[in-house]
Structure 1
Amino acid sequence: MNRYTIYSGWVREVLFSVCKTEEELRKLLKVARLKPEVLHMPSGQLAPETAEQLLKAAQRQAGEECVGLVCGQKASVPLWDIVGWLMQVSPTLEVAFEGLCQYHRCFSHSIMFRLSERNGCVVLELQPEPDWQEMYPVSCRQVVELNLAAALHFASAQLKQPVSPQLVTISFPKPPQPWQYESRLKCPLKFGTDVCSIHFKPHEVRRPLAGYSAAMYSLAKKLLDDMLQPNYDVTSFIEVLRRELQERIRENGPCTIVPVADALCLSVRSLQRRLSQQGTSFQKEVEAQKKQVAQRLIQANRYNVSEVAGMLGYSDCSAFRKAFRKWTGYNPKAFALQRQP
């Protein structure tokens, strides 16, 4: 059973852009061996294999490898569901993208959005679910590139002038015809990076937006806060928490309860209460995710023990070795050897 789903609005955006008539859409669905009802699931979500079938068919029908990128250049804010409304009435682009990062879980858990500032740029990052990128690369790439292009289109539309990023990075391999990306994005590009990202000039994203409304912005935030709180059922809450912890561990980020609770839009007390109801605790979840990441890194045999210890936040190797033996019953070297074919 898949642990994540794909927001159907993204898939529909591509399909409706590629198919100009209902007849074309019916033919595409027939090629994908799917019924029309699949596009209107009450949950608003699709299984990743279904998204893969649909977007492969769309790619073939369009005759365009970067069909997601092309569609994103014309996408409207409903691409991000109700979060798009919040973005439209935000005071600046930076605040709009902060809203996307904070509330994207209202409609999707398959892509994580993050906003940071580094190297003199405001950076919007898109990190797809790792299993999705590995197992269903066509749909993952199309949806990520759809969102990249849509973010740039949104920025230009809100500022009413073209926005030229300092850099766009794409975590997928360099395509055979990179000029298609260069001509459409009109900025320096890097392929095969760790994450997909857009590097904006700070002065551009901090300009005031004409559509800002304090009252509407406040109302949109309240609606999204209300949506997000009950959005986690028992299963999805634990899954979201574990993905958040894994991502922080991989990036050597803080795995303390305050920033994690903040990322999940919960108070510390609410987070602790939910975990207690599931018979677990925050510390147990952190340890469990560190164990998983440590086992993968040691088994991959690409890093020495001190490097893995550092990645997991251990100040010295002896503490890591002790923890690893507690988790697995082996020291790291023995674990790597006994896992070799």
Structure 2
Amino acid sequence: MPTSTPDPRHASVSASLTQAVLHAAGRLGVDRASLLAGCDLTESQLVDPDARLPFATQEAMWQQLSRLPHSEPGLALGLNLAPGPFSVLGYLLQSSATLGDALAAGLRYQRLVGEGGELHRHEQGEEVHLLYRPLHPNLPATRTRVLALMANWVQMVTPLLHDFRPLRAQFVHAQPTDLGPYTEVFACPLQFSAPEYGLVLPKALLAAPLIQANSPLQSLLRQHAEALLARLPSEGLSARVVTLLGEQLAHGEPDRSELARALNLSERTLQRRLAEEGSSYQQLLNDTRRQLAEHHLSSGTLPAAEIALLLGYSEPSVFFRAFRQWTGLTPGEYRSQQQGKG
């Protein structure tokens, strides 16, 4: 479950990502000083890797880079983007135990890198769809920016797995004349004029162990990432709790004390701050479970007993009682009602 989308007017990106883009452009022969001047940036704004810059500033940089003399500038830049300069998130992904864990961390902490769009994960049968929804999708520079990010995803993950092969890559724009750069980067079937940008992976790959897994480092990085996330505006504590609940539910009954620790809060402080936002832990847990239950029942064929396990219930009967309290219907009745609407 992704985090809440920030106000586009106040969207920001990390200085570390901006540095990475500048380095990639430099490898392609772009003059750094001219690029900085063209988007009204100074070197002093980039000294702290955790500093934030207005997204509009970096978007102006992408606009310049979209004019590079390459058949697909975004892919050329993506091949030269190094994950290290992305600061804490890059290292967090690399040290994850499995690809599934890395994707969960990517979804949880994506705002640390930038707010120029939002990554979503959807499962369809034996496929996992990683979809990227950019701000300002109709701007010409957006194609360059998103292609650079997608190419970087592949560059980052490939060395971490013994056999990383996407099932397909999809792009919003029409099929270009030169497919060479695409086949070189993605090495999989390509779909153009698609509804959204994204990569499709085999679901079985989520359990694949990562070569650089490091649990102690992962714990330290998560603490740092949570502290950085807490500094960012526009996402309330309630939204962060919902995100963590979505992750915990997949592993059983959520643990309030563990969730509070993940947020660097005591349970009492968590309770007080949620109350200040007009919410509570139990209310958010119930709302999250109800939302997920209704989604599974209306859009899939999973048996209700399996849905109960996915929602962290130890017994299906407990889920059935809760669902009837929420909707006045049994899960089976709700599913039939939704199918009837179709």
TM-score (structure 2 length as normaliser) = 0.62
Comparing 192-201 with 42-51, greater Cα deviation is found at 42-51
Number of the residue aligned with 2:137: 133
Q: Superposed, which structure 2 residues align to 1:1-341 within 5 Å?
A: 2-20=9-27, 24-30=31-37, 32=38, 34-37=40-43, 40=46, 44-60=51-67, 62-78=68-84, 80-129=86-135, 132-134=136-138, 136-138=139-141, 140-160=142-162, 163-228=164-229, 230-233=230-233, 236-237=234-235, 259=242, 262=245, 269=271, 272-276=274-278
AA at the equivalent of 2:231: N
Give CA-to-partner distance per residue, 1:21-50, whole Å, 9 cap, x none: 9982123344x2635337627673333432
Displacement, 1:165? 0.8
Separation in 1 of the partners of 2:183 and 2:173? Answer: 15
- Give SS of 1:156's match: helix
Q: Distance in 1 between matches of 2:51 and 2:13?
A: 9
Q: Distance in 2 between matches of 1:55 and 1:116?
A: 28
Shift of residue 152, structure 1, vs aligned partner: 1.1
Aligned pair in 2 of structure 1 residues 276, 211: CA closer, same or farther (>3 Å)? same
Is the alpha carbon distance of 1:6 and 1:232 closer, same or farther for their aligned partners in structure 2, counting shifts above 3 Å?
Answer: closer
Q: 1:271 and 1:191 mapped to 2: Cα distance? A: 46
Distance 1:113 1:196 in 2: 10
Q: Percent identity?
A: 18
- Tell me, in whole angstroms, the C-alpha distance in 2 between the residues paired with 1:152 and 1:93: 12
Distance (Å, rounded) in 1 between the aligned partners of 2:179 and 2:228:
40
Q: Following the alignment from structure 1 to structure 2, what is the Cα–Cα distance between the partners of residues 3 and 164?
A: 36
| Superposed CA offset, 1:222-263 (max 9, x none) | 3223332x2244xx236x98xx8xxxxxxxxxxxx9746747
AA paired with 1:169?
A: Q
Superposed displacement of residue 63, structure 1: 0.8
Distance 1:76 1:19 in 2: 12
Which portions of structure 1, spanning 4 or more consecutive aligned residues, are displaced by more than 6 angstroms?
263-268
8 Å Cα contact 1:4/1:110 also seen in 2:
yes
Question: Counterpart of 2:298?
Answer: none
Answer with 82-91 or 183-192: which moved more: 183-192
Distance change in 2, residues 1:21/1:208 (3 Å): closer
CA–CA distance in structure 1, aligned partners of residues 87 and 213 of structure 2:
18
CA contact (8 A) 1:10 1:143 kept: no
How many aligned positions are there? Answer: 256
Could you tell me which runs of 5 or more consecutive residues in structure 1 were left unpaired when the two chains were aligned: 245-256, 283-314, 317-341
RMSD: 3.7
Q: CA, structure 1 residues 58+109, in 2 after alignment: closer, same or farther (shift >3 Å)? A: closer
User: Are residues 148 and 22 of structure 1, via their aligned partners in 2, closer, same or farther at CA, if it must alter by over 3 Å?
Assistant: closer
Kept in 1: contact 2:108–2:243 (CA 8 A): no
Q: 2: distance between equivalents of 1:38 and 1:64?
A: 30
| Structure 2 portions without partners, runs of 5+ | 1-7, 248-258, 285-336
Q: Which amino acid aligns with 2:149?
A: N
Task: Check conservation: 2:132, 2:198, Cα contact below 8 A.
Answer: yes
Q: TM-score, normalised by structure 1?
A: 0.62
- Give the Cα separation in 2 of the matches to 1:146 and 1:192: 18
CA distance in structure 1 between the aligned counterparts of 2:29 and 2:184, rounded to whole angstroms? 31
CA contact (8 A) 1:98 1:115 kept: no
SS at match of 1:97: helix
Tell me, what secondary structure is at the counterpart of 2:188?
A: coil
**CA deviation profile, 1:115-171 (whole Å, cap 9, x unmatched):** 332131222222223xx324x440x3223222211111122111255x321111223
Task: Say if 1:261 and 1:101 are closer, same or farther in 2 by CA, change over 3 A.
Answer: closer
- Contact between 1:174 and 1:191, CA under 8 Å: does it hold in 2? yes
Distance in 1 separating the partners of 2:44 and 2:224: 27
Q: 1:182 to 1:210 in 2, by over 3 A?
A: closer
Is the 8 Å Cα contact of residues 11 and 54 (structure 1) preserved in structure 2?
A: no
Q: Distance in 1 between matches of 2:168 and 2:150?
A: 12
Asked if 1 retains the 8 angstrom alpha-carbon contact of 2:20 and 2:86, the reply is no
Q: State the alpha-carbon separation in 1 of the partners of residues 206 and 110 from structure 2.
A: 19
